[in-house]
Structure 1
Amino acid sequence: MTDTTLTKMLDIKHPIIMAPMFLVSNVAMVKEAMACGIAGCIPALNYRTLAELRSAIQELKAAKVAGGAFGFNLIVNKSNVKYQEQLQILCEEGCDFIITSLGSPQETIRKAHEVGIKVFCDITDLAYAQKVEAQGADAVIAVNNQAGGHRGEMKPKELISLLNEYCKIPVISAGGVGTKEELDKMLSYGAIGVSVGSPFIASKESNITEEYKQACVDFGAQDIVMTERISGTPCTVINTPYVQKIGTKSPWLERTLNKNKKLKKWVKMLRFYIGMKATEKAAQQATYKTVWVAGPSIEHTKQILPVKDIVEKLIH
């Protein structure tokens, strides 16, 4: 592949970041990604303890001798009570980059830059992109309406073009990539690289249930729906019979409480906690109450493959 700003920034062969996926991403997946010449990222919240997070960083640093780059995703708002300690460990141990989500990245940018760590910020619109640019972000992760999980509202081309016109920092596109053709399309729109998540869910190295992986094989883009029942913010999931049964809207009481300015923050935090626990259970055991997070790019998932084979599909 042609070198881009992203390949130079992270010293990788291909302009691809394996996106951080809650409860899916792990060290084994990122080690394989790095061996293939791409970057890999893991949510810091995938680790129950700070000691486990530190151990994961050390293992990835040891594996990096073969090339590639690795980073971690930080939830930087009050819903993540571990944020401060997670940031401290990342800065102490070191990594190539941090991706921030759901909050102001100002403190993360300042502390990460002090130790030479790049910071990319999830954004869904121009206003927020300009805010993080002013705070010193190295690049934005432009989350479009084809992304899995918490997605944006704008189409890929529209969002990338808008950001390139009004921002000076580089744009990494997130969403809508499951093939090389789609990757090339994002680069042609002006992105310096792509963040790809859902195609890696059904990988040999992910330690989720076989049922979750097989669902990504059996279902396609038309089976992805938005639900408010995980975090209170619309999130894409596979439209299983259980999802159809419970519906995708927040319960009436929750919607009512969200209208109260004093209670809204606490209701959001409670919904986030309940939703994350439900997602964790679905990822680790198969029950009839299954909520599997995924994006429309599972359309291209036809079998469960090793990470290296999935990367090959994206670059050849």
Structure 2
Amino acid sequence: MTAKTLSQILNIKHPILIAPMFLVSNTNMIIAALEMGCTGAIPAHNYRTDKELRNAIYTIRNSSDKAFGFNLIVNKSNPKYRKQLLTLLDLKVDYIITSLGSPREVIEKCKPLGIKVFCDVVDVKYAQKVEQLGADAVIAVNSDAGGHCGSMKAGDLIQQLRAEINIPIISAGGVTNCNDIKSIIECGAAGVSVGTIFIASHESPVSNEYKQALVNFGSDDIVKTTKLTGSPLTVINTPYVQKIGTKENILEWMIHNSPLLKKYAKMILAWKGMRKVQQSAFKAGYDNVWCAGPAIGEIREIRSVKEIINDLIED
């Protein structure tokens, strides 16, 4: 069976999804993407209140009739999960991307409403589980993704998934230009999810220091750290990151692996880590932690979302 392309699934011109990025994604970025024939998603977590989340959906809907979506953290570390899901169902967004947990409830409630569900996966085992649950596609998060990343290269991950699942595969990580997209599509992906290069856009709300860091640093300056959230997170290797290290110390390891403390430790660590990332995104300081993927090696200047997309679709 030939899986549908992302363009066919969402009725868009280009099989390109601007990835949902914590603190970064906003309505201006999504509207620009829709105008260019692409799609985009925003983490529901980017909005503090239900009113703000609803207003974001209304703002996009008033500007375009094209498909857009939201990312939903579906595990217990997200206390707003249930309310956010109810709002996304109520306003019938086009699709939901699930992360960090079982998408069972999301899929069951979205199916009757015609809302698509794409699930983040990093391996075959989890991809098979979400396919069985009824997911419409998987977001295959590879080792070149920014933020929380996988462990496999894009081509290897896509090849393994194609052999074991029959739903569309959207590749996430490492895309910077149209040639990257061609290679990913030739591997058998239905589309691509692109994040890092859009952080350095005019529409991005993060600080100029953060954006300039994406221009100044290169691919070799990206490291994976488990220090912040307990899960592998790709960040720029600034002097502060070098100072605190990228590995858990013995006490942290013991807490995270204790059967008694593990669940609560992960919740607390994730909250503290995201608070640190949030503080760094909007102000300059010696202790900044900036999330990004190896794609920063191709960022030469700060540009508009439309200019960046032009590089992705020029052929």
| Alignment match, 1:90 | 88
Task: Give, in whole Å, the separation in 1 of the partners of 2:19 and 2:91.
Answer: 21
Task: Give, in whole Å, the separation in 1 of the partners of 2:215 and 2:245.
Answer: 23
| Residue segments in structure 1 that go unaligned for 5+ positions in a row | none
Residue 142 in structure 1 maps to residue 124 in structure 2: no
Task: Give, in whole Å, the separation in 1 of the partners of 2:161 and 2:254.
Answer: 35
Task: Give, in whole Å, the separation in 2 of the partners of 1:35 and 1:229.
Answer: 39
| Alignment match, 1:127 | 125
Task: Give, in whole Å, the separation in 2 of the partners of 1:262 and 1:113.
Answer: 37
Mapping of residues 54-69 of structure 1, within 5 Å = 54-65=54-65, 68-69=66-67
- The DSSP-based 3-state class of the residue aligned with 1:297 is helix
| Alignment match, 2:215 | 217
- The DSSP-based 3-state class of the residue aligned with 2:64 is helix
| Alignment match, 1:50 | 50
Mapping of residues 196-275 of structure 1, within 5 Å = 196-275=194-273
CA deviations over 1:125-169 (Å, ceiling 9, x no partner) = 000000000000000000111111111111111110111111010
The match for 2:78 among 77, 80, 85 is: 80
- The DSSP-based 3-state class of the residue aligned with 1:258 is helix
Q: Quote the offset at 1:172 in angstroms.
A: 0.5
Q: Scaled by the length of structure 2, what TM-score is found?
A: 0.97
Range with greater deviation from structure 2 (257-266 or 122-131) = 257-266
Q: Scaled by the length of structure 1, what TM-score is found?
A: 0.97
Task: Give, in whole Å, the separation in 2 of the partners of 1:259 and 1:107.
Answer: 28
CA deviations over 1:94-114 (Å, ceiling 9, x no partner) = 211110000000000111122
Q: Quote the offset at 1:259 in angstroms.
A: 2.1
Residue 287 in structure 1 maps to residue 274 in structure 2: no
RMSD across aligned C-alpha pairs, in angstroms? 0.9
Q: Quote the offset at 1:69 in angstroms.
A: 2.1
Alignment-mate amino acid for residue 18 of structure 1:
I
CA deviations over 1:45-101 (Å, ceiling 9, x no partner) = 000111100111111111123xx4210000000000100000000000121111000
The match for 2:97 among 77, 94, 99 is: 99
Task: Give, in whole Å, the separation in 2 of the partners of 1:263 and 1:244.
Answer: 28
Task: Give, in whole Å, the separation in 2 of the partners of 1:249 and 1:184.
Answer: 36
Task: Give, in whole Å, the separation in 2 of the partners of 1:285 and 1:139.
Answer: 37
Q: Which runs of 4+ in 1 moved over 4 A?
A: none
| Alignment match, 1:297 | 295
Mapping of residues 11-50 of structure 1, within 5 Å = 11-50=11-50
Q: Quote the offset at 1:252 in angstroms.
A: 2.9
The match for 1:159 among 144, 148, 157 is: 157
Task: Give, in whole Å, the separation in 2 of the partners of 1:200 and 1:92.
Answer: 29
| Alignment match, 2:110 | 112
CA deviations over 1:208-261 (Å, ceiling 9, x no partner) = 100000011111111100011221101000011110111111233221112211
- The DSSP-based 3-state class of the residue aligned with 1:69 is coil
Task: Give, in whole Å, the separation in 2 of the partners of 1:213 and 1:152.
Answer: 24
| Alignment match, 1:8 | 8
Alignment-mate amino acid for residue 280 of structure 1:
Q
